[in-house]
Structure 1
Amino acid sequence: MNGIKLAYRTAGEGPPLVLLHGRTDSGLTWAPFVVHFARRFQVIRPDLRGHGKSPYPGSYALPDMAEDVARLLDDLGVERAAVIGHSLGGMVAYHLAMLHPSRVSRMVLEDPPPPLPIIRAAPEVDPGDPQAEMLLDTERQFAAPDPAWAEGLGRVTVPTMVLYGGPSTHVPADRTAALIPGAKLVTIDVGHLIHADAPQEFLAAVDDFLQDPLEDV
């Protein structure tokens, strides 16, 4: 194991629900939704490595970030959880489902980049920014992902919903959905930050996906 212990916050009781934030964000992005989800779930909000109050180890391989989450579940005594991941957090979520399918009961991926090569301008990075290494390392993986990742998504059996920001987003999340057998694709045309820019539509889609039947979650 890689030895990274993530900072996290918990609330509520019930079946575990892990919320994974996007790049440069933290678990705090989910604060407006905690009360809603905590009515039915034990809500777990980690800061991914290189984010928030978690360690900044200088290495940010997506499979390692997924292993961090698996170790957090071990530490909390959680065998299996539903997972919601936004953007980078969605990529971490689907790596978790590929690496540890028995640990994920259901998966909601909010505008997740597909593990397919992309061409775009490299981000401008301030060398003094503590997240500089994370930005550069993850960007390399966005541009040239391991081909095995796309193949691995084709073997995912976890019930999955992909929320796609529509033509307004820069992320082709619909291509992610196409790689996952049986994935449900829901388009909410507000761009990349669906949970922030369309919170009611986000909650309605997520609740509908998670609630039937609740015992599976």
Structure 2
Amino acid sequence: MLATIRHPAATAPEAPTLVIAHGLYGSGRNWGVIARRLADRREVVAVDMRNHGESPRFPTQSYPEMAADLAEVIESLGPQPVDLLGHSMGGKAAMQLALTRPELIRRLVVADIAPVAYAHDQTRNARAMAEIDLSRITTRAEADAALSARIDDPALRAFFLQSLDLRQRPPRWRLNLPVLEAEMPKIVGWPGTLGVFDHPALFLTGAESRYVLPEHRETIRALFPKARFAKIPGAGHWLHAEKPREFEETVRVFLEA
């Protein structure tokens, strides 16, 4: 089963458990601050998706498999339905689960992704991480310097380096990079899943992101007829990291409506 980080409710739970599924190259640890703040009235469980963090390594990374992983976690938590939040790759896995096992989910939050195939390719970033000679790395600063030769964006490097375990000698990536690179067509794609999730769903996007476009709304509404749409000003694809308080408040209002 997937590794999880559980954030118990600060008081007696008044709402269903919230499960959080991170995006590509991320982990449940990335969501620590938001998860703890949302745990004031409910338990929050952040997962490490397969081939990420401390979760098991598998040879494949398809959305039906990722949805089955999430279903196993949800069924282990006790009473269903739960609320489910997914960002990017995790958002697609969450949509896949909602369309195939709708009884498990009360409310769905999809952060900056649509149920469509994308043309962009993230294999360059997997290769950049894999090409670093970790036997020469002893500090995060050294790792950042090595990665800067391949990735210009310091914010993106900082995000990737959250998945570098410097306690190990030599350090190791908490990512199954060969599989993620090989399975990239599935990750940026969409399996064309049919079905209808007839419960409330929030599609929350960064106003400066180009991942969810106006032309995607017809496809979204066909699968999620109760979909609502909201944008966070000044945020891009990493909206939860760029505008965490605004992200948290928007999610809270939707889940508690």
1:42 corresponding residue in structure 2? 43
Partner of 1:202: 247
Q: Report the equivalent of 2:2.
A: 6
Distance 1:88 1:176 in 2: 17
Q: Larger Rg: 1 or 2?
A: 2
Within the alignment, does 1:130 sit opposite 2:130 as a pair?
Answer: no
CA spacing shift, 1:122–1:44, aligned 2, 3 Å: closer
Q: Is contact 1:49–1:55 with CA below 8 Å preserved after alignment?
A: yes
Where 2:45 maps in the other structure, the secondary structure is strand
TM-score using structure 1 length: 0.84
Aligned pairs for 1:146-185 within 5 A: 146-147=191-192, 149=193, 151-152=194-195, 155-166=196-207, 168-172=208-212, 177-178=217-218, 179=220, 180-185=224-229
Q: CA deviation at 1:134?
A: 2.0
Q: CA deviation at 1:94?
A: 0.7
| Worse-matched range after superposition: 30-39 or 52-61 | 30-39
Judge conservation of contact 2:206–2:236 (CA < 8 Å) in 1: yes
Per the alignment, in what secondary structure is the counterpart of residue 96 of structure 2? helix
Alignment RMSD, CA only? 2.0
Q: Secondary structure at the match of 2:123?
A: coil
Q: State the number of aligned residues.
A: 201
Structure 2 equivalent of residue 186 of structure 1: 230
Q: Which runs of 5+ in 2 are unaligned?
A: 132-174
SS in 2 for 1:97: helix
Q: Report what 1:98 is aligned to.
A: 99
Aligned counterparts, 1:1-150, within 5 A: 5-13=1-9, 14=13, 15-112=16-113, 114-121=114-121, 123-124=123-124, 125-126=126-127, 130-137=176-183, 139-142=184-187, 144-147=189-192, 149=193
The amino acid that maps onto 1:118 is: Y
Q: What is the identity, as a one-letter code, of the residue corresponding to 1:71? A: E
Look up the equivalent residue of 2:119 and give its one-letter code: I
Runs of 5+ unmatched residues, structure 1: 213-217
Identity of aligned residues (%): 28
Q: TM-score, normalised by structure 2?
A: 0.72
Distance 1:68 1:188, change over 3 A: same
Which has the higher mean CA deviation after the structures are superposed, 76-85 or 91-100? Answer: 76-85
Counterpart secondary structure, 1:52: coil
Could you tell me whether the CA contact under 8 Å between 2:62 and 2:187 is conserved in 1? Answer: no
Regions of 4+ moved over 3 Å: 173-178
2-structure distance, mates of 1:24, 1:159: 28
| SS, match of residue 51 in structure 1 | coil
Q: Partners of 2:201 and 2:181 in 1: how far apart? A: 27
Q: What is the rounded CA distance, in whole Å, between the counterparts of 1:19 and 1:61 in structure 2?
A: 18
